[in-house]
Structure 1
Amino acid sequence: MQSWTEMFGVVETALPILFVVILGILAATAAGGLLRAIGNHRQPVLSVHSVIVGKRTEVSHRHDTDTSVNRSDTKYYMTFEVESGDRLEFAVSGVEYGQCAEGDEGKLTFQGRRYHGFERSVRTYRTELQEYRKFHSSG
């Protein structure tokens, strides 16, 4: 069995190593976020014609057992298809998510992976909605 002084020696060695590892993880995470932000900032702001081809939500639940409080957070995402056929997914606000529907066409504005907005095109509602439903129900 180890004596208290031997065990304290192990803790005295392990604690600084653990501290350095935690600092390293935090620094790497911060550097990654900073590099991503710089990369987005260097990209040009683009506005392209696109169609909303998908919408999804991501809900996370948390329960605090001490106070019996349940919390949930929802993240909203929309997928756009641009004229080249590429699909781009962006996180959007709940308000914008609720105001848009799959099949909406308009101008998508973005910078790198940063979403700036979507401006729907004016369209004749009945005809295009019927065409959209017909196309998506057949295949």
Structure 2
Amino acid sequence: MDFFFFGGGFEILFSLAFFAVLAVILVTAVRGLLQWNQNNHSPRLTVPAVVAAKRTATTHSHHNTGGAAHVTSSTTYYATFQVESGDRMELRLSGAEYGMLAEGDRGRLTFQGTRYLSFERE
């Protein structure tokens, strides 16, 4: 057992864990950059659509700094739009835009790739 901790086994496991976490961070960053680039090269489209659904995703983080516990939360807002063809797309939007939409609203959706740009009610 002592050989594992002091003979190199722990260092190998630590290195593997470090590189695994680093790989996850790099893959996430590359995916984000690829999506951003794809959105930038996609055409801006404006189509008739209906707000089919709305949802939120809330995450909580607990931090201990200087003996004091802090809790922070973050909310991400999504709306699902149904276009004339029957296809649905879920787009991320700001809290202000989310608050202005109601399920069943009809209007013109403007988007670029997976990027929400605006929704104008009819």
Range into which the TM-score falls when normalised by the shorter chain: 0.7 to 0.9
Greater alpha carbon shift after TM alignment, 105-114 vs 12-21: 12-21
1:8 shift after superposition: 4.5
Q: Does 1:39 align with 2:44?
A: no
Q: Secondary structure at the match of 2:8?
A: helix
Cα 1:68–1:20 change in 2 (3 A) is: closer
Name the TM-score, length of structure 1 as normaliser. 0.72
Alignment partner of 1:96: what SS? helix
Q: Which residue of 1 aligns with 2:79?
A: 78
Write the mapping of 1:22-37 to structure 2, written as runs, cut at 5 A. 22-37=21-36
Indicate the SS of the match to 1:103. Answer: coil
Judging changes above 3 Å, is the alpha-carbon distance between structure 1 residues 47 and 3 closer, same or farther for their aligned structure 2 residues? closer
The CA deviation string for residues 105-138 of structure 1, in whole angstroms up to 9 with x for no partner, is 11101111111111112xxxxxxxxxxxxxxxxx
C-alpha contact 2:53 2:81 (8 A) present in aligned 1: yes
Map of 1:97-136 to 2, 5 A cutoff?
97-121=98-122
What is the CA RMSD across the aligned residues, in angstroms?
Answer: 2.4
Any gaps of 5 or more consecutive residues in structure 2? none
Aligned in 2, Cα 1:52/1:34: closer, same or farther, shift over 3 Å?
same
Query: Unaligned regions of 5+ residues in structure 1, if any?
Result: 122-139
CA contact (8 A) 2:3 2:9 kept: no
Q: Looking at CA atoms only, which structure, 1 or 2, has the larger radius of gyration?
A: 1
Aligned counterparts of 1:54 and 1:3: Cα–Cα separation in 2: 58
TM-score by length of 2: 0.80
Matched positions, count:
120
CA–CA separation in structure 1 for the residues paired with 2:52 and 2:44: 22
1:69 and 2:73 matched: no
Indicate the SS of the match to 2:104.
Answer: coil
Overall identity of the aligned pairs, in %:
44
Counterpart residue identity of residue 94, structure 1 = G
Q: Which has the higher strand share?
A: 2
Residue in structure 2 matched with residue 130 of structure 1 by the alignment: none
Residue equivalent to 1:56: 55
Q: C-alpha separation between the residues in 2 aligned to 1:2 and 1:94?
A: 55
SS in 2 for 1:75: strand
Please list the CA deviations of residues 42-94 of structure 1 after superposition, one character each: whole Å capped at 9, or x if unmatched.
Answer: 22111101111111122222333542333222111111111111111111111
Which protein has the bigger helix share? Answer: 1
